[in-house]
Structure 1
Amino acid sequence: MRKWMMGATAALAGVGLLAGCSNGSDAGGGDVTLTYGVWSQDETMQELIDTFEADNPGIHVELQVSPWNEFWTKLQVAAQGGTAPDAFWMLGDKFQVYASNDQLLPLSDAISDAGVDTSVYPEALVDLFTYDDELYGLPKDFDTVGLWYNKELFDAQSVDYPTSDWTWADVRKAAEELTSPDESVYGIAAPLNRQEGFYNTVAQAGGHIIDGEASGYDDQKTQAGIAFWTDFIADGYSPTLQEFADTEAVAQFENGSVAMYYGGSFYAQRFYDNAELRDKIDVAVLPAGDERATVINGIQNVGYAGSEHTEELEKFLVFLGSEEAAAIQAETGAVIPAYEGTQQAWVDAMPEFNLQAFIDQVPDGVVYPVSANTAAWNALEDEMLPDAWNGAKPVSEVADELAAAMNDALAKE
């Protein structure tokens, strides 16, 4: 599994990311104000800030919320222009771009000085936010991927529910049995998804997306992980890419037209809030291929290298990665907090679902594959892989061509 990791690793009125990092002390009081950029807000965020401020008199934190569809554009411009927030949320697939351009505050020394034991977080998340042996953040929350299934549809065809012992062969057998002759119900959804789809099965096959500075798409094991999905469409057990373009895969699972869906833990709250769906579905760990694996991803709190208050910023970032902060987040049930031992509140928040399945897979977590310019080869995946999903070309041919194009892109990083 380590091979996989080698490449890694409601807006507020009048407030936006471009407001930038604080540039001095508050008038008359000598206090410091830090800015904190996020893409969503609830009472938990303010509770975190209030708790930190109570323990750190003289340090104030101003929350800046930008909607998801604006957050990254604003952050890119602000980081380049020297006006980024002092602290902000970061995702693994974006991280190396900022770290490699010296826009993030190195935190290894601050984490060590604070006595933080990073083993309390999933190892894959720590690896994901490490660049050139330097750690730039502490995990906030994480998500893994599970096999969601519709119990009603399974019962109708007398198919046994998925268990932790399921393998790829079991998924395939169930998909065949659950697919109706008139295709009003498909056994499984096989969309062209990275985090929830083929990145998992590539790892389960023993393959890899990127190894150092080289593509793994020309590896036969990688190609087997892709063929896991394309075979479902070719055999008529899944809707086609065009059908997914018309109605996204998760929506087809929700409306009962597909019986199984590889979906992230982040869908738990959405499914739970759907009163008509809640009692019909459940989730299990991902079926095993040659290996057990699930993509693990999450949000980290990072700091801006251009902040004028690095000492105070380091204190805030260390707090955000603490057990106390994780416990506050766990109370909402919205996300799985990254700190070990604080996840039970999330599991208990939706007892109708076997949410423990997502926690149980943490030891099998593999890092979402990234590099310093992930966007370049992600674009190549988007451009070339549909030919395999549509059956226009064999998986091996598409993957070999993708590997060559990806290696060219990596050589330019």
Structure 2
Amino acid sequence: MIRKLAIVLAIVPALGFATACGGQSGDDGGKVKVVWWHGQTEAEGQTLKDLADEYNKSHPGVVVDPEVGTTNVDEMLQKVQAALAGGEPPDVAYMYGSWSSTLADTPKVVDLSSMVKDPSFGWDDFWPAAREAATVDGKVIGVPSVVDNLGLIYNKKLFDAAGVPYPTKDWTWDDFRTAAKKLTDPGKGVFGTSYVVTGDEDTVWRFWPMVWQQGGSILNSDGKTAAFASPQAVQSLDLWRAMAVDDKSVYLDQNGEKFLPLFYSGKVGMEMAGPWAMRDLADHDVDYGVVPLPGYGGNHQTISGPDNWVVFDNGSKRAQAAKDFLAWLTKPEQDARWSLGSGNLPIRQATSKLPAYKKFAEQFTGADAFLANQDNAMQARPSIAGYPDISAKVGDAIDQVLLGQATAQQALSGAAAEADKILAKG
């Protein structure tokens, strides 16, 4: 199964490396070779191999060579970094959307702006937040490979046992807190909900929608100072502090690996999670439902964590062959085989109109709800080089508050001061 791949940040230097002799040999028996690091294994990797084989048969002048690259996509940036330094980068690689600003700084990343502007590519058919996450200062550094969003997944059995009405699309965060308290049963080790307190982006991205829902921002409009220590943000984090410290209705997952298994086993009633959980939910035979995130004032904005296929420059012939391949790979028919086959949402809106999506939605409870929730993904995290460092400061602040070590105002103000220092360095 493809897990959520967009939430892990790597804090690394910009990839401004010189490469030797143009990279790997692009000749394969007179054909143009495209080395494709996709990072997928098992069924997902086989699907991509089958797609490459199909493309090669219909494009006799090209050989797309699919390789895993790394079995841990968290390490793909470092792996590509080393390949760039050694002069042998892949032509295409699967990269987290959170790395966009770093990738934009290397001259070896091919700007795909002209490709996506071609009407035949259908750029407007990709989800807005995914397009925004792939664009840095007007430069398109990749095309979406996976899209997702955060919704609220709830365990119907636990709600029924506690006599609590199921969540609705109109829920507020106060409704959420009330339900979490009623679902919590210390004697049975049951919690109303959970929160990841790892201090990384898995912690932080769950918080940003609450800020956006109230009209807040991560940075000020000029992008030079932090805006996340606002009264609205403090109110949101205070709610989580009250739930975790006062109500004791939140399971605090300090390694980020336990919250979903606990939900599958009936020990947590509600989770902020995404479509990546649907396959495991089906495997564990959980009776569950999906609604948008609770909101403020009727605003139910969510956050999307899209990842990208990124092209590296190994010469004009190989770069063009890589772009042609991606244009084919991301067409709705191929998208249906890759995205839906791996249990993810379609990367294109047109894919959801195909019979393959209808079959997918019948197989996975909540697919339609997550698809509709894409409309609530209205903005993306800042595509700036300092975001990973800023995120780390915010993650630490959230952890301190939920663990009862600081107030929301203290923690967010401290993180904002540190963020301003990071931004001042450019």
SS at match of 2:195: coil
2:25 is equivalent to residue 23 of structure 1 = yes
Q: Which residue identity is paired with 1:339? A: R
2:36 is equivalent to residue 36 of structure 1 = yes
Q: Which residue identity is paired with 2:132? A: D
Deviation at 1:397, TM superposition (A): 0.9
Q: 1:96: which partner in 2?
A: 101
Deviation at 1:128, TM superposition (A): 0.8
Deviations 1:124-149 (A, max 9, x none): 11011111212222222211111111
Deviation at 1:50, TM superposition (A): 2.0
Please list every run of at least 4 consecutive aligned residues from structure 1 whose deviation after the TM superposition is greater than 6 angstroms: none
1:330–1:346: 8 Å Cα contact kept in structure 2? no
2:395 is equivalent to residue 391 of structure 1 = no
Deviations 1:222-271 (A, max 9, x none): 22332332221022243453x64597222222222211111111111122
1:202–1:208: 8 Å Cα contact kept in structure 2? yes
Alpha-carbon distance change, 282 to 234 in structure 1, aligned in 2, over 3 angstroms:
same
2:196–2:203: 8 Å Cα contact kept in structure 1? no
* Whole-angstrom CA distance in 2 between matches of 1:123 and 1:47: 29
Counterpart selection for 2:270 from 260, 263, 276:
260
What fraction of aligned residue pairs are identical, expressed as a percent?
26
Q: 1:402: which partner in 2?
A: 415
* Whole-angstrom CA distance in 2 between matches of 1:293 and 1:115: 31
Please say which of residues 142-151 and 247-256 is displaced more in the overlay: 247-256
* Whole-angstrom CA distance in 1 between matches of 2:85 and 2:256: 38
Matches within 5 A, 1:47-86: 47-65=50-68, 66-68=70-72, 69-86=74-91
2:281 is equivalent to residue 271 of structure 1 = yes
Deviation at 1:317, TM superposition (A): 2.2
Q: 2:18: which partner in 1?
A: none
Q: Which residue identity is paired with 1:334? A: G
SS at match of 1:148: strand
SS at match of 1:197: coil
Counterpart selection for 1:360 from 363, 367, 372:
372
Counterpart selection for 2:303 from 281, 295, 300:
295
Alpha-carbon distance change, 375 to 306 in structure 1, aligned in 2, over 3 angstroms:
farther
* Whole-angstrom CA distance in 2 between matches of 1:270 and 1:321: 26
Alpha-carbon distance change, 313 to 330 in structure 1, aligned in 2, over 3 angstroms:
closer
* Whole-angstrom CA distance in 1 between matches of 2:323 and 2:350: 24
Q: 1:176: which partner in 2?
A: 181
Deviations 1:302-331 (A, max 9, x none): 101344522212212222222232122245
* Whole-angstrom CA distance in 1 between matches of 2:84 and 2:231: 40
Deviation at 1:175, TM superposition (A): 1.1
2:223 is equivalent to residue 223 of structure 1 = no
Alpha-carbon distance change, 133 to 370 in structure 1, aligned in 2, over 3 angstroms:
closer
* Whole-angstrom CA distance in 1 between matches of 2:182 and 2:405: 26
Deviations 1:55-81 (A, max 9, x none): 322110111211115423211222344
Alpha-carbon distance change, 73 to 181 in structure 1, aligned in 2, over 3 angstroms:
closer
Q: Which residue identity is paired with 1:156? A: A
* Whole-angstrom CA distance in 2 between matches of 1:96 and 1:143: 20
1:323–1:342: 8 Å Cα contact kept in structure 2? yes
SS at match of 1:386: helix
RMSD after superposition: 2.4
2:336–2:357: 8 Å Cα contact kept in structure 1? no
Q: Which residue identity is paired with 1:269? A: R
1:214–1:407: 8 Å Cα contact kept in structure 2? yes
Counterpart selection for 2:287 from 260, 268, 280:
280
In structure 2, runs of 5+ residues without a counterpart are 1-21
Counterpart selection for 1:375 from 373, 377, 388:
388
SS at match of 1:297: coil
SS at match of 2:229: coil
In structure 1, runs of 5+ residues without a counterpart are 1-19
Please say which of residues 259-268 and 94-103 is displaced more in the overlay: 94-103
What TM-score results when the alignment is normalised by the length of structure 2? 0.84
Q: 1:238: which partner in 2?
A: 249
Q: 1:4: which partner in 2?
A: none
Q: Which residue identity is paired with 2:26? A: G
Please say which of residues 126-135 and 335-344 is displaced more in the overlay: 335-344
Deviation at 1:382, TM superposition (A): 3.6
1:87–1:304: 8 Å Cα contact kept in structure 2? yes
* Whole-angstrom CA distance in 1 between matches of 2:170 and 2:119: 42
2:104–2:139: 8 Å Cα contact kept in structure 1? no
Q: Which residue identity is paired with 1:272? A: A
Q: Which residue identity is paired with 2:100? A: F
SS at match of 1:312: helix
Alpha-carbon distance change, 124 to 226 in structure 1, aligned in 2, over 3 angstroms:
same
